Amino acid sequence: MALQVIGAGLGRTGTLTLKTALEMLGFAPCHHMVEVFAHPEQRHFWLRAARGEAVEWEEMFGGYNASVDWPSAHFYAALADRYPEAKVILTRRDPQRWFESISETILKAMSMHEGPAPDDHFMRFGDIIIAENTFGRDFGAANVIAAFERHNAEVQRIIPPERLLVFEAAQGWDPLCRFLGVGVPDTPFPRTNSREEFWQHTLPPELTAPVIPAAG
């Protein structure tokens, strides 16, 4: 099994909706941050990757057909090189609405601890990838939106247009299915992961505690 679809969009751009849609279209399983919460041992791989250590992507993705969301979206370019036949999807949404959403979910969760997360924290890898590398630990609106726009522009610069779909969940099945070369399902396009669902279902219990023991 090798990745067939690589999601390059940042969190809160409809990535869980895209995961659900891809799995409905036959690209299951699809990796998403919720997979790390369901399989907490994965955090050790992602911490190595976040620190810039050499990793073998098959160690993580040998059992997946697709990936979306952080943490894998941070490594979209490396994944696109590793899986040259995979198609890339950049999920987008209105920048201001995206900022409002991420501020009330991911950034709020990352603010539960003061300063950088300690090395034995469950989400240390996310702290490095998101807080440090993506936003430079500045969660102000201007900086976060600028980082969002830079990321989206960089994806479109790096990935050849014939290999890339820029996609908003509101567009529904048609552009997604055309891009992937599959039929349009009879079922409605999924809608999931509201802010309420984020807090109820997405975060693991460990994120409400300061640290958890590191393995090994």
Name the band, by pLDDT with cuts 50, 70 and 90, for residue 208: very low
Instruction: Work out the burial of residue 157: count CB atoms within 10 Å of its CB; fewer than 13 is exposed, 13-18 middle, 19 or more buried.
Output: exposed
pLDDT of res. 200: 47
Contact 98, 146 (CB under 8 A): no
Contact 25, 18 (CB under 8 A): no
Q: Does 100 have pLDDT greater than 60?
A: yes
Name the band, by pLDDT with cuts 50, 70 and 90, for residue 113: low
Q: Is the pTM of this model over 0.85?
A: yes
Integer Cα distance of 153 and 40 in angstroms: 32
**Total length of the chain:** 216
Any idea which residue has 């939106």 for tokens? Answer: 145
The phi, psi pair for 89, rounded to 5°, reads: -120, 125
Buried b (16+ CB within 10 A) or exposed e, 69-82: bbbbbbbbeebbeb
Q: Which domains, and CATH codes, for the chain?
A: 5-195 (3.40.50.300)
Integer Cα distance of 121 and 44 in angstroms: 11
Task: List all residues 6 or more positions away from 166 whose beta carbon is below 8 Å from its beta carbon.
Answer: 90, 92, 156
- Tens of pLDDT, residues 56-89: 999 999 999 999 999 999 999 999 999 999 999 9
**CA-based nearest residue to 6, from 162, 165, 188:** 165
Q: What's 181's DSSP letter?
A: T
DSSP calls for 101-168 = HHHTTHHHHHTTSSSSPPTTSTTHHHIIIIIIIITTT--SHHHHHHHHHHHHHHHHHHS-GGGEEEE-
Average pLDDT value for residue range 113-136: 88
Q: Omega before 29 cis (within 30°)?
A: yes
Strands of 30-31's sheet, edge to edge? 30-31, 66-67, 5-7, 87-91, 164-167
